Amino acid sequence: MKTAEIRKKFLEYFQSNGHTVVASSSLVPGNDPTLLFTNSGMVQFKDVFTGKDMRPYTRATSSQRSVRAGGKHNDLENVGYTARHHTFFEMLGNFSFGDYFKHDAIRFAWTLLTEVYGLPKDKLWVTVYQEDDEAFGIWRDVMGVPVERIIRIGDNKGARYASDNFWQMADTGPCGPCTEIFYDHGEGIWGGPPGSPEEDGDRYIEIWNLVFMQFERDVAGNLTPLPKPCVDTGMGLERIAAVLQHVHSNYEIDLFQGLIAGAARETNCTDLQNNSLKVIADHIRACSFLIVDGVIPSNEGRGYVLRRIIRRALRHGYQLGQTKPFFYLLVKDLVNEMGAAYPELAKAQSRVEQVLRQEEERFVETLEHGMKLLETALSEIALTDPAPSAGTAPILSGTTLFTLYDTYGFPVDLTADICRERHVEVDIDGYERAMTRQREQAKASGKFKMAEGLTYSGTQTQFEGYEHLECVATVLALYVEG
């Protein structure tokens, strides 16, 4: 089943069950200036869940374009490393605004997966929140899932990708337990069932997450049952497509084949398995759709995230030997794959190409020089540092990170990503110090301007400015509402 057909079947199924099909909203959230990007299907319905906004329907379904490359959800560091993460993906969802609750939500999901899509039941595992006996009972008694495949998950187990199975919109407001559905891709792939120490692997892949908004949390942390509980679900289109197309990785589905072939064509790469091709294929989707939705590369906020993704794609092209602008040439391949589902993409094709091309031309000039500097630094580390032992990896200095950023336009996460591939760590503290020094010098001379609120920590780039803003906005809203 092609991806387009899977999307269509999902929406039709929920439509035939009384849901209104709602178009995907923009990647730039219209109702929430503090959120970096639309990162799930529920974003456009936020105010409907809290009762601030009323709609003429109580059941909705959508296929929402989503980006997770900054802010609270950031999967940029996972792209190229897992089989299931993208920066841009489509989230299929069904929503109940005070209409049906757990029983029907679980029944809809199970029926769609096992009857409409015809998945074998014995490959499906489910998790519930540890205290949610109601959901546990529905899975066991109504859907007939054997108890060995229903796993209770607690608040946060600390694993890298661990789901905590208790969802909350913010520190206060609607919240409640989740239930997730996993697919077992089979032996030979590293990973264990949810809740096991190996769950971060890619054997058991989460395909669908059902959130039951059941409580309202107040400032003191007390939970009060909501008078009208709601349902919010999300299933990654590419993940369910991988399952239905009998492939393991999202990058092997039909939609990605065209993009990977395009990336191979433009970089003259003959090995279609090359990891860089997957990263480029992922990034062309995120970058194009961000531009469609009005984001342009810049040095701050959303524009800087876009710039960072573009530059990452370009350095992968460079790694494959392509030193000229090539990325913009993949827009036509994307339009081939997704233009029918997203006419706005087809319409914006030449604008997207133009924006990307301009950005590429800017960066290719410094990319090569920066890469040479980095290679020299990396080979010097290899010469001077003893082989890594007892958990000590060689470290790239903060000064080099800073020079690459400041002189060659290498966002620090880009350099860190290259280092990660070479098993070299980066001195982020040293980089921050160099940055502070420069900022102070520039302040003194009165001419420095940079992306404020942008800090880098470890392997995750976090926009603490936005996170902070989200927090402030929540607190403010709370006081306004009394």
Contact footprint for ligand ATP (CB under 6 A): 40, 68, 75, 84-86, 89, 91, 161, 163, 206-209, 234-236, 238-239
Q: Which is nearer to Mg ion, 75 or 359 (CB)?
A: 75
Q: Which is nearer to ligand ATP, 132 or 353 (CB)?
A: 132
- How crowded is residue 121: how many other Cβ atoms within 10 Å of its Cβ? 13
In our burial notation (b when 16+ CB lie closer than 10 A, e otherwise), range 313-328 reads bbbbbbbbebeebbbb
| Shortest Cβ 240–ligand ATP spacing (Å) | 7
| Shortest Cβ 69–ligand ATP spacing (Å) | 9
| Shortest Cβ 231–ligand ATP spacing (Å) | 13
Half-sphere exposure of 172 (CA within 13 A, CB side): 16
Q: Which is nearer to ligand ATP, 90 or 360 (CB)?
A: 90
| Shortest Cβ 93–ligand ATP spacing (Å) | 8
Q: Which is nearer to Mg ion, 294 or 458 (CB)?
A: 458
Question: What residue 235 binds from Mg ion, ligand ATP, none (CB within 5 to 8 A, per partner kind)?
Answer: ligand ATP
Asked if 209 interacts with Mg ion (CB under 5 A), we say: yes
d(CA 345, CA 291): 9
Q: Which is nearer to ligand ATP, 109 or 291 (CB)?
A: 109
Question: What residue 448 binds from Mg ion, ligand ATP, none (CB within 5 to 8 A, per partner kind)?
Answer: none
Q: Kindly tell me which residue out of 163, 214, 249, 415 binds Mg ion, with binding defined by CB under 5 A.
A: 163
Asked if 206 interacts with Mg ion (CB under 5 A), we say: yes
Q: Is residue 357 classed exposed, middle or buried when 0-12, 13-18 and 19+ CB atoms within 10 A define those classes?
A: middle
| Shortest Cβ 423–Mg ion spacing (Å) | 24
Question: What residue 208 binds from Mg ion, ligand ATP, none (CB within 5 to 8 A, per partner kind)?
Answer: ligand ATP
Phi then psi for 129, rounded to 5 degrees?
Answer: -70, 140
Q: Which is nearer to Mg ion, 209 or 461 (CB)?
A: 209
| Shortest Cβ 194–Mg ion spacing (Å) | 8
Question: What residue 68 binds from ligand ATP, Mg ion, none (CB within 5 to 8 A, per partner kind)?
Answer: ligand ATP
Output the CA angle 297-303-304, nearest 5 degrees.
Answer: 95
Question: What residue 84 binds from ligand ATP, Mg ion, none (CB within 5 to 8 A, per partner kind)?
Answer: ligand ATP
| Shortest Cβ 449–ligand ATP spacing (Å) | 32
- How crowded is residue 369: how many other Cβ atoms within 10 Å of its Cβ? 12
Question: What residue 91 binds from Mg ion, ligand ATP, none (CB within 5 to 8 A, per partner kind)?
Answer: ligand ATP
Question: What residue 89 binds from Mg ion, ligand ATP, none (CB within 5 to 8 A, per partner kind)?
Answer: ligand ATP
| Shortest Cβ 224–Mg ion spacing (Å) | 25
* Chain center to CA of 213: 22
The number of residues making up the chain comes to 482
Phi then psi for 358, rounded to 5 degrees?
Answer: -60, -45
Q: Which is nearer to Mg ion, 236 or 301 (CB)?
A: 236
Q: Which is nearer to ligand ATP, 75 or 266 (CB)?
A: 75
State the DSSP string of 388-399: PBTTBPPEE-HH
Radius of gyration of the chain (CA): 23
Size of the site for Mg ion (CB under 5 A): 3
In our burial notation (b when 16+ CB lie closer than 10 A, e otherwise), range 220-247 reads eeeeeebeebbbbbbbbbbbbbbbbeeb
Q: Among the residues of 234-330, which ranges form H helices? A: 237-244, 254-267, 275-292, 301-319
Q: What is the DSSP-derived secondary structure letter of residue 478?
A: H
Listed residue (169, 170, 92, 164) closest to 128, CA to CA: 164
d(CA 139, CA 102): 10
Query: Where in 273-332 is the site for Mg ion (CB under 5 A)?
Result: none
Tokens matching residue 86: 């993208």
60 - beta bridge partners?
Answer: 20, 95
Question: What residue 234 binds from ligand ATP, Mg ion, none (CB within 5 to 8 A, per partner kind)?
Answer: ligand ATP
Question: What residue 236 binds from Mg ion, ligand ATP, none (CB within 5 to 8 A, per partner kind)?
Answer: ligand ATP
Residues binding Mg ion (CB under 5 A): 163, 206, 209
